[in-house]
């Protein structure tokens, strides 16, 4: 009997692979940074500028990219995104100094800016409403798996191909994903040749308006607390992604291989946190029917757990204990992902790509500010723990701002004149 995979499962698997590849391509520079810094003679402040370069267009294209995904569909949008981020990754292998490295990282942010909001749009159509937390948690778990695998992977590729060759090889893999996505995916599940009637029946009903006009003012009012909360999460995320390998290497005088292994261990905790957060949120939703409680309970617990996990590193500097604390902090912070990425779909199903872009603008802004501040603080003070102390303050703010979110109040179209406004659905 021939094994048959459901089309919905294949699409989810392809999105998981995309999340994995995008994070490998965006965090690989953290592991290669020591060699790049030495070859190009960069200070920590300059390196922080390079780390943040990705985030400038990434910030800009969250909303624009989400709108493009809503308007033109995930098939075409993600294909072209894949081509751009693949080319920029390959280009990184040919940089000659600070300026060209900065440009390559800007191009990467341009290519990846629309990916997650557009992927949310794809999941909106291809995932049952009761499985949103699981789908978002699983895809982001693959992103964190990319984080975890990247340090030892890049260390191995650098030993084999040099740091330049490692970027070229990874860029070619990204090109391949983009081609396969365009060949397999369809914007409309009903148009896919492999989809079954049972799968279609389980998916959310579709709006007849395939290119909706976004109610910007109302959507911004509803999404700003979500954006703020996600900024607080993003501050810690980008501190981990950009500086963790160098934290272990420079603070404990480890070589690249061992610092990569320590960083990888911390990132693996995030894989578990991503998966578990989405599963918990969906189970609470199914059991209680209260979407706000399902999203907020896991989100607030994640922020609180991350804060408490990082507290000991302010007083105890043993490498094993610090690694465990950082792992615990990353695990709890990643619990936030599944419920948070479900919120844009809960609030604005018809505009889920744009809403997700508005939310991820918070993380994109954090991706600019967090590495710049961390690099400057380390250069000025020589203290590698102070950036994590600042991160703890943002975790507290995120836990409180989460209570301002209202995923239980979705948008509905009302009236007969095309006026759109948010309506609370009880």
pLDDT at position 56 is: 85
Measured CA angle at 357 (ends 388, 343), to 5 deg: 80
In a domain, 50, yes or no: yes
Structure tokens at 44: 């920590």
In a domain, 313, yes or no: yes
Number of domains in the chain: 1
Owning domain of residue 238: 8-188+218-406
pLDDT digits (tens, 9 = 90+) for 280-304: 998 998 899 898 999 999 999 999 9
In a domain, 418, yes or no: no
Q: Are β-strands 411-413 and 420-422 bridged in parallel, bridged antiparallel, or unpaired?
A: antiparallel
Maximum CA extent, the chain = 67
pLDDT digits (tens, 9 = 90+) for 227-257: 999 999 999 988 887 777 778 877 777 776 6
In a domain, 170, yes or no: yes
pLDDT digits (tens, 9 = 90+) for 92-147: 999 988 999 999 999 998 888 888 888 888 887 888 877 877 887 788 788 878 87
- Say how far apart CA 312 and CA 316 lie, in whole Å: 6
- Say how far apart CA 286 and CA 128 lie, in whole Å: 12
Q: What is the pLDDT along the chain (426 residues), one digit of tens a residue?
A: 344 678 888 999 999 999 999 888 887 887 788 888 888 988 888 888 888 888 788 888 777 777 787 788 899 899 999 999 999 999 999 998 899 999 999 999 888 888 888 888 888 788 887 787 788 778 878 887 887 788 788 888 888 888 899 999 999 999 999 999 999 998 888 888 888 888 788 777 665 555 557 778 888 888 999 999 999 999 998 888 777 777 887 777 777 667 767 777 787 888 888 888 888 998 998 899 898 999 999 999 999 999 999 999 888 888 888 889 999 999 999 999 889 988 988 888 777 778 888 898 898 889 888 888 888 888 888 888 888 889 999 999 999 999 999 988 876 543 333 333 444 333
CATH number of the domain encompassing residue 303: 1.20.1250.20
Answer yes or no: are the C-beta atoms of 52 and 101 closer than 8 Å. Answer: no
- Say how far apart CA 78 and CA 117 lie, in whole Å: 10
Q: What pTM does this model have?
A: 0.71
Answer yes or no: are the C-beta atoms of 344 and 352 closer than 8 Å. Answer: yes
Q: At what angle do helices 98-112 and 55-72 cross, to 10 degrees?
A: 30
In a domain, 261, yes or no: yes
In a domain, 421, yes or no: no
In a domain, 210, yes or no: no
In a domain, 422, yes or no: no
Which DSSP string do the residues of 63-119 spell out, in sequence order?
HHHHHHHHHH-HHHHHHHHHHHHHHHHHHHTT--SHHHHHHHHHHHHHHHTTHHHHH
């Amino acid at each position: 009997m021939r094994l048959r995979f459901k089309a919905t499962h294949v699409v989810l698997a392809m999105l998981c692979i995309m999340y994995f590849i995008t994070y490998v391509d965006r965090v690989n520079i953290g592991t290669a940074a020591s060699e790049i810094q030495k070859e190009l003679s960069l200070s920590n402040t300059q390196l922080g500028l390079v780390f943040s370069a990705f985030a400038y267009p990434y910030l800009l294209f969250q909303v624009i990219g989400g709108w493009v995904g809503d308007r033109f569909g995930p098939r075409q949008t993600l294909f072209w995104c894949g081509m751009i981020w693949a080319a920029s990754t390959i280009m990184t292998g040919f940089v000659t100094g600070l300026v060209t490295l900065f440009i390559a990282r800007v191009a990467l942010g341009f290519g990846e800016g629309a990916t997650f909001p557009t992927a949310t749009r794809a999941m909106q159509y291809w995932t049952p409403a009761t499985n949103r937390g699981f789908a978002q948690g699983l895809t982001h778990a693959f992103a964190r798996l990319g984080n975890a695998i990247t340090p030892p992977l890049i260390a191995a590729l650098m030993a084999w191909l040099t740091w330049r060759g490692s970027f070229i090889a990874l860029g070619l893999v990204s090109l391949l994903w983009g081609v396969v996505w365009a060949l397999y995916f369809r914007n409309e599940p009903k148009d896919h040749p492999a989809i079954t009637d049972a799968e279609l029946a389980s998916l959310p009903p579709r709006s007849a308006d395939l290119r909706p006009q976004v109610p910007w003012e109302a959507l911004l009012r509803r999404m700003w607390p979500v954006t703020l909360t996600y900024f607080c999460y993003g501050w810690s995320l980008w501190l981990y992604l950009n500086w963790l390998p160098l934290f272990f290497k420079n603070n404990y005088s480890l070589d690249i291989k061992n610092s990569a292994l320590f960083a990888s261990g911390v990132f693996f905790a995030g894989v578990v946190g991503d998966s578990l957060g989405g599963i918990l949120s969906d189970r609470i939703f199914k059991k209680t029917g209260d979407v706000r409680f399902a999203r907020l309970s896991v989100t607030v617990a994640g922020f609180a757990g991350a804060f408490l996990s990082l507290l000991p590193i302010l007083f105890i500097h043993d490498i094993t204990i610090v690694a465990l604390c950082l792992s615990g902090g990353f695990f709890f912070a990643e619990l936030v992902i599944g419920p948070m990425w479900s919120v844009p779909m809960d609030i604005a199903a018809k505009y889920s790509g744009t809403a997700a872009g508005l939310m991820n603008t918070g993380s994109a802004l954090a991706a600019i500010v967090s590495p710049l501040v961390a690099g400057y603080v380390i250069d000025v003070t020589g203290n590698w723990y102070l950036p994590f102390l600042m991160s703890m303050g943002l975790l507290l703010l995120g836990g409180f701002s989460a209570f301002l979110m209202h995923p239980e109040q979705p948008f509905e179209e009302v009236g007969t004149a095309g006026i759109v406004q948010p309506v609370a659905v009880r």
